[in-house]
Amino acid sequence: MARTLSYLDATHLLRRATARGRKEEAQQLVDVGLEAAVDSLLQDPATAVPYHTEVTITERYEQHKEIANLWLSHWLTTPTPAAERLVLFWHGHFTSQFNESMGASASDAWTQFATFRSQAYGPFSDLLKAVAQNPMMLLYLNNAESRKEHPNENWARELMELYTLSPGFYSEKDVQESARAFTGWSTRLASGKRGYQRDPNEPFVYFFNPRWHDSGPKTFMGRQIQNGDDVLDILSNHPQTYLFVGHKLLVNYLTPQPPQAMVQEAARVLQSGGTRETLRWLFTRDEFYSPQYRSTVVKSPIEYLVGLFYAAGQNQPLIGKDDGKASARLLGIFTAMGQIPFEPPTVKGWDGDMNWLDESRLLTRLNLVSAFAGKENQLDLSVFMDGANGPLALVKPEAQLL
Amino acid sequence: MDRRDFIKKSLLTLALGQAAPSLLSRTALAAQSKDKILVVVNMFGGNDQLNTLVPFRNDLYYHNRPSIAIAKDTVLDLGQNGQYLGLHPQLRPLMSMWDAGELALIPQVGYPNPNRSHFVSTSIWHTADPTHHEPTGWLGRWSDGQTDPFCDTFVGGATPQALQGVHHTAPAIQSVDGFTIRMPRPLEDAMNAEMGQTRQGKAEEVRQAMLSLRGALNKIGQIRTYTNKVQYPDNAFGKSLADVARMIAGGLGSSVYYTTVGGWDTHAAQQPRQAELLGYLAQTLSAFRADLKALGRDKDVLIMAFSEFGRRVQENASHGTDHGKGGLMLVLGSGVKGGMYGSEPDLENLDDGDLKYQTDFRNVYSASLEWIQADTKRVLGQDFKPLGLV
């Protein structure tokens, strides 16, 4: 027999899974029952429209505004919004900063998001492999230029520290040896164009340069290895990888301090079944709906804005008039709130939780409420927040929570 | 543990002052000076010491850095008392301070068992705990003994760990001019009503954040009328220190101001990037001091700049440098005893390719804590002899 889902629990599920929703969508989830509701949320992601720009390769700010708009529009209109919240999660995990990757164009950043989207729900090992050969990442962490004469350690170090194991589970020697293993993992343009002649619409592709690769023997975590694939295999089979990433998934989807027993279980499901199974497991657990875990996750600025736009019935991320300055205004507001799409502040991503609500950031969120004054009639806050009782509810503390 | 050991341990605990602070020490803490001000600049990313304080008379330096070394004829020579080292040409605005004996340069600063991770190392600097067990920040622990919620201020988006204590976290003010609430009356009234109603769990944490925002809005509103007396460079760091000067001018009353300037993680194409950042740094510090002089407060302010580590001695294939260990600290102000606090790095005797650390950063922190008359032992957990900077 299908498990039932109350309306109140449906709003919680929809809010956590997708960061957007309206009353009728929550009601649809109630009508089909818990399992079918979770299945419908976790279906394969709809693809996003390709990025195409008319600006030149050097107009980076224009490109940045364009992809930020494109992504927010996609999140607002896609039939699979849960995938977009997960894309944001992977973006904050496998970080790449657009403005710190001078060789990259917005098409590279957009292609990286397509990779996050298509691999979002699958086995972590597949996603890790795709990220390791993703041109945006190779450019951001400088592996694209790493040669056997002087290996660049940036990627190798962050791979273990931030993307898989976390500190304490590897040595400096492991960093140096794996950096050697990844030498030659590089990028190129199929057209062969270079520098300023480059068409910003042509993304880089992965390219293995055997002349830059150090083919000598290497020892990584006590094992003899040859190349970067061996490093990724060892990391993909390491239980600590799943404890670390599983914990992070629960912080994003359950509570800032998830109980240890649930972390263990999430890690087990993640390693054996992949990310979709992990989310399915979580969303069908009784604990997920317990009052202690409701409204415990602070909305990130992107989630806050997506939720607000959607609640107001907007299918474009528009604040104020559509006067040609709207996308600049949007990026400015994201900057003030502390989360710029395609631009994590550091390679560690965003700290989240109450860090989102330090004085200046919280002030920006509250001042934004005025932008929705006059749209009270369209505003449906029933999924956006707990305790919504009309447009004035936007100034309640609960409005900041998922 | 037998009984005698237990007693010895207990006495030791008392002797180390780990028991609850006595009434006396509480009173002493409350009497801290409001005149002296510490400004901390966190250069996040790992500034490369060797291209900032350049050993330009050492051939090994040029040998290790064939493509990114600073050319000999452009280095600003610090002379004999600068251990024959020189500054990066973009630091020219600091030369008058060096000549006046108001700039202290502390090379090869670090801590035992150096960590090359940005985040681990930053956290060690912020908590002042190389064993990485202490959750609170060093200035957070200082602020826990204070009563004024504005005893310290972070100028930026989100308060870093250094300023997080158990009971107190510094307010984060991104900019003085932008810090104002704009909301129609009915919404503002509704918000004030909501803020009066206690809640449970995370919603209560959010309500507390809203309350502290309201307090900060009142306070910053009072200093908005103060304007800078000099022109600052038009970049984020320039704006931050311009706002610090306004906060000092307006009598915000913080003993500590803290801000961050990022971008120092130069794994690739280091030369132009680091030059740009060093230029921002020097021009802004120079403008800030001129502003303080115009306010008559220059004598009260000590500025301390640090980065979580220095960088590898040998350049990499991307014309950059990877994460290293010992790095450079700068301390400046008219109350500072300028000079070189350390020696030219030994490029023949490296630690896995990095400069060995020579000075523990907690000895420098200790000097900065003395400046604001803080209980250094209580903040740092043990006695660190202050470097003789002040």
Residue B97 lies in a domain: yes
> Is B386 within the bounds of a domain?
no
pLDDT in the model for residue A376? 80
Residue of chain B minimizing CA distance to A385: B203
* Closest alpha carbon within chain A to B199: A397
ipTM over 0.85: yes
The rounded mean pLDDT for chain A is 96
Pairwise pLDDT comparison (B119 vs A296), residue with the higher score: A296
Check residue B336 and give its pLDDT. Answer: 97
**Closest-CA distance of chain A to residue B249, Å:** 21
Per-residue pLDDT tens for A115-135? 999 999 999 999 999 999 999
Share above pLDDT 90 across residues of chain B, in percent, rounded to a whole number: 87
Looking at the fold, whether B169 and B184 belong to one and the same domain comes out as no
Using a CB-CB cut-off of 8 Å, the residues of chain B touching A369 are 183, 187
Q: How far is A291 from chain B (nearest CA, A)?
A: 10
Q: Supply angle C-alpha A116, A118, A119, rounded to 5.
A: 65
Test B187 with A369 for CB contact under 8 angstroms: yes
Question: How far apart, in whole angstroms, are the C-alpha atoms of residue A193 and residue A199?
Answer: 8
Residue B9 has pLDDT above 70, yes or no: no
Q: Are residues B175 and B204 in the same domain?
A: no
Q: Is B135's Cβ below 8 Å from some Cβ in A?
A: no
Residue-by-residue DSSP string for B32-87? --SS-EEEEEEEET---STTTEE-TT-HHHHHH-TTTPPPGGGSEE--GGGTT-EE
- One digit per residue, the tens of pLDDT, for chain A of length 402 reads 579 999 999 999 999 999 999 999 999 999 999 999 999 999 999 999 999 999 999 899 999 999 999 999 999 999 999 999 999 999 999 999 998 887 899 999 999 999 999 999 999 999 999 999 999 999 999 999 999 999 999 999 999 999 999 999 999 999 999 999 999 999 999 999 877 789 999 999 999 999 999 999 999 999 999 999 999 999 999 999 999 999 999 999 999 999 999 999 999 999 999 999 999 999 999 999 999 999 999 999 999 999 999 999 999 999 988 888 999 999 999 999 999 999 998 899 999 999 999 999 999 999 999 888 778 888 999 999 999 988 899 999 999 999
Does the beta-carbon distance from B216 to A359 stay under 8 Å? yes
pLDDT at B17 over 70: no
Residues B138 and B172 in one domain: yes
Cα separations (Å) of B120 from A235, B133, B261? 21, 11, 18
Q: Which domain covers residue B261, as residue numbers?
A: 23-179+230-380
For residues A179-215, one letter each, b for 16 or more C-beta atoms within 10 angstroms of the residue's C-beta and e for the rest, the string is bbbbbbbbbebeeeeeeeebebeebbebbeeeebbbe
Is the four-CA dihedral B240, B45, B357, B128 of positive or negative sign? positive
Mean pLDDT of chain B: 91
Mutate which of A290, A363, A369, A376 to disrupt the B interface (most B C-beta within 10 Å)? A363
Measure the CA–CA gap between B47 and B107, rounded to whole angstroms.
12
H-assigned helices in A198-300? 228-236, 239-253, 260-273, 275-283
Put simply, the chain A residues between 96 and 155 with a CB less than 8 A from any chain B CB are 102, 141-142, 145-147, 149-154
Domains identified in chain B, total number: 2
Residue B18 resides in a domain: no
Structure confidence at residue B47 (pLDDT) = 98
Which candidate from B119, B207, B262 shows the least CB-CB separation from A397?
B207
Our CA-based measurement puts residue B27 at a distance from the nearest CA of chain A, in whole angstroms, of: 30
Percent of chain A whose pLDDT exceeds 70:
100
pLDDT at B77 over 50: yes
Report how far residue A179's alpha carbon sits from residue A218's, in angstroms, rounded to the nearest whole number: 10
* Residue at token pair 């493509």: B67
Nearest residue in A to B320, CA atom: A152
Per the domain annotation, does B35 fall within a domain?
Answer: yes
Which chain A residues are Cβ-neighbours of B269 within 8 angstroms?
A: 102
Question: Each residue of A215-249: pLDDT tens digit?
Answer: 999 999 999 999 999 999 999 999 999 999 999 99
| Ramachandran assignment for B172, one of left (phi > 0), alpha (psi -120 to 50 degrees), beta (any other) | beta
Closest C-alpha to B302, from B263, B262, B274, B329: B329
Q: Quote the DSSP letter at residue B156.
A: S
- Quick check: B187 and A395 CB within 8 A? yes
Residue located via tokens 């069908």: A284
| Number of Cβ atoms within 10 Å of the Cβ of A385 | 23
B389 occurs within a structural domain: no
Q: Taking 70 as the threshold, does the pLDDT of residue B101 lie above it? A: yes
Nearest to B52 by CA among B224, B361, B306: B306
Q: pLDDT (tens digit, 9 = 90+) per residue, B317-330?
A: 889 999 999 999 99
Model pLDDT, residue A1 = 58
State the DSSP code for A340.
Answer: B
Taking an 8 Å cut-off on Cβ atoms, the answer to whether A152 and B267 are in contact is: yes
B173 and B319 share one domain: yes
Report the chain B residue with the minimal C-alpha distance to residue A396.
B194
CATH number assigned to the domain comprising residue B113: 3.40.720.10
CB pair distance less than 8 Å for A150 and B186: no
Model pLDDT, residue A2: 75
**DSSP letter at A373?**
T
Residue whose C-alpha is closest to residue B315's, from A45, A188, A153: A153
Q: At what angle do helices A275-283 and A81-93 cross, to 10 degrees?
A: 120
Query: Inter-chain contact B267–A394, Cβ cutoff 8 Å?
Result: no
Question: B250 and B189 share a domain?
Answer: no
Mean pLDDT within B18-44 = 61
- From chain A residues 323-342, the ones with a CB under 8 A of any chain B CB are 336, 338
Go through A144-178 and write b for each residue having 16 or more CB atoms within 10 A of its CB, e for each that does not: bbbbeebbbbbbbbbbbbbbbbbeebbeeebbbbb
Based on the fold, state whether residues B115 and B194 are members of the same structural domain: no
Co-location of B64 and B128 in the same domain: yes
Residues B238 and B344 in one domain: yes
Spatial separation of the C-alpha atoms in residues B193 and A90, rounded to whole Å: 38
- Same-domain status, B164 and B188: no
In a domain, residue B16? The reply is no
Look at residue B316 and tell me if it is in a domain: yes
Q: Which of B186, B315, B318 sits opposite A142 (nearest CB)?
A: B318
Check CB contact under 8 Å for B179 and A359.
Answer: yes
Q: What digits encode the pLDDT tens for the residues A9-31?
A: 999 999 999 999 999 999 999 99
Do B191 and B126 share a structural domain? no
Candidates B183, B203, B315; nearest CB to A295: B203
User: How many beta-carbon pairs below 8 A join chains A and B?
Assistant: 150
Q: Are residues B278 and B319 in the same domain?
A: yes
Least confident of A171-180, B26-35, B82-91, B252-261: B26-35
Q: For residue B107, is it within any domain?
A: yes
Residue B25 has pLDDT above 90, yes or no: no
Question: Of B203, B223, B243, at which residue does a domain stop?
Answer: B223
Of A145, A370, A401, the CB nearest to B268: A145
pLDDT of residue B34: 64
Residues B156 and B283 in one domain: yes
